[in-house]
Structure 1
């Protein structure tokens, strides 16, 4: 069963500030952009029914890079952060230099690693080494777990991720040696996803999706969205199954064949995003109505 890591989903409140951070500080490229009039059937944009957008951004094509999915709900200005997300690690002295030049708050966490936060408060860890050109600069994504043994049984024993490093407080897992790794960080107490809860996505051969769903169901674990086909107007259909790990971390398994077709880089993506941001008058509309956007 060939599985590859795809992306992490962030909810963002201020699209312009966020895009500036990902493009001009981290140095990522807009790969795709889509606008939707109603909420996603698989809750890609969270539990919201209104107009929203999805922007895929990263260091290269989704076929061989771990990228970010930025979801923006037009009527929501910000989201409450929990303790569930531990950060995305990127190797890039160049991004670190841009962050310093922009006078962003940066913390030296040792071993040539520095942490900073996006405008929405999401943590990034920059490794102070030249950004690689022969592989994806994104090295890992970290999440919190409350019971390490239970989580390892789920991610390794049930889903089949390989253990790269193991100790009581941290486990590193991966589906392939050339992919972004998953860091499990043991925290004290329970995992709180709040409203900013993210989602990690993996691609799997489409014919094996229902098998994963059945396996997880038989093991007594949570299935958030049973096998479903999602439509993107004018693009390929994709089949997905959405799961949740023992701490409630959302996991999307998507059919690889349809997703490879859907996820082709769109040369017009940056322009489409800029046009959407220029047309976005939601702040003005709420102000005229004597209201403000919701803090979710």
Structure 2
């Protein structure tokens, strides 16, 4: 994940619904050491004397020196990158940390209309998770909140932007939030240079939510906005490594920024990633509050290959998590934003 500000040793970050999450997240089913120590050689690649390159049903390749080789031919590289475009991918959830879980749940359910889907307390590891959204995790994008015992404040940083929520009536939603004591940072009105009615509100921890006036949509939790230092570089990476489609770009020279919307379907039907480039700004402080996005994939091994071929950094080699069969891989984009890919079938089993 992005470079994270050191935390007190008593904090135990959690795992997401696939049993991974925030800083180096934990799960009640396996320990933090699974992310900080070497996994069995048969479960990873890039380890000397390892016999397996990947477990995708194809033959394995081992270099004579005993080091596992990477795909060497242009044909194999091209095949992997072409496969990415056909992979069945979906943005699954976003993970971040809050200072008062009950307070945040109250705000999200009463003001933003979300549902508390499930809650998990792990006292021996001193953290609690809560999953919220507008529909079930197996079909909709949701939020995973993490509360670490005794930590009531985090640094959101300057790199994280906002989450987007589609609502029928922005003005009515804003008045409801105001009546509940919520903070309105941008009153309802048309977006600059457009017609869409929007507003901005803040949750109790300072995370910003953009309210967008839209008709009925299957995915109300519709955007995650992150700031990047080179928009063209980021677009190329997300298209090539993640298989996302560039839906549109919009330049705003008056306010000196450009945005790009990317995703796995149209904006009005799926959750999308909004990347923002501010003229002349190449780096951002990512703080220690926002953690990562999770994306489903049919093959974490091929996904890791594609990330490496696209010059991304794989931070967790693909393979089953020790103790369970859920296969994942984790990576950083060119700006250091973390994403975790999870096997689609394993994810559904985890939700059973």
TM normalised by structure 2 equals: 0.65
Partner of 1:13: 99
Partner of 1:171: 260
Q: Which runs of 5+ in 1 are unaligned?
A: 39-49, 265-296
Q: Which runs of 5+ in 2 are unaligned?
A: 1-86, 191-196, 252-257
Q: Distance in 2 between matches of 1:231 and 1:199?
A: 21
1:146 matches 2:229: yes
- Select 2:304's aligned residue among 191, 195, 213: 213
Q: Distance in 1 between matches of 2:277 and 2:128?
A: 33
Measured after TM superposition, the shift of residue 98 of structure 1 is: 1.9
**CA distance 1:228–1:117, change in 2 (3 Å):** farther
Contact 1:11 1:72 (C-alpha < 8 Å) held by counterparts: yes
Q: Which has the larger radius of gyration?
A: 2
Q: Distance in 2 between matches of 1:262 and 1:231?
A: 14
Classify the secondary structure of the residue corresponding to 1:136: coil
Greater Cα shift, 181-190 or 215-224: 215-224
Q: Distance in 1 between matches of 2:160 and 2:188?
A: 17
Q: Distance in 2 between matches of 1:71 and 1:247?
A: 23
Partner of 1:272: none
Partner of 1:291: none
Contact 1:84 1:197 (C-alpha < 8 Å) held by counterparts: no
Classify the secondary structure of the residue corresponding to 1:186: strand
Q: What is the CA RMSD across the aligned residues, in angstroms? A: 2.1
Greater Cα shift, 102-111 or 119-128: 102-111
Contact 2:174 2:188 (C-alpha < 8 Å) held by counterparts: no
Q: 1:154-205 deviations in whole A, cap 9, x for unaligned?
A: 1112221001102451111111233201111113241211111321111111
Partner of 1:193: 286
Q: Distance in 2 between matches of 1:102 and 1:214?
A: 48
- Select 1:117's aligned residue among 202, 224, 243: 202
Contact 1:59 1:65 (C-alpha < 8 Å) held by counterparts: yes
Measured after TM superposition, the shift of residue 97 of structure 1 is: 3.6
By percentage of residues, which structure has more strand?
1
Partner of 1:238: 326
- Select 1:67's aligned residue among 142, 145, 163: 142
How many residues end up aligned between the 2 structures?
A: 246
**CA distance 1:220–1:91, change in 2 (3 Å):** closer
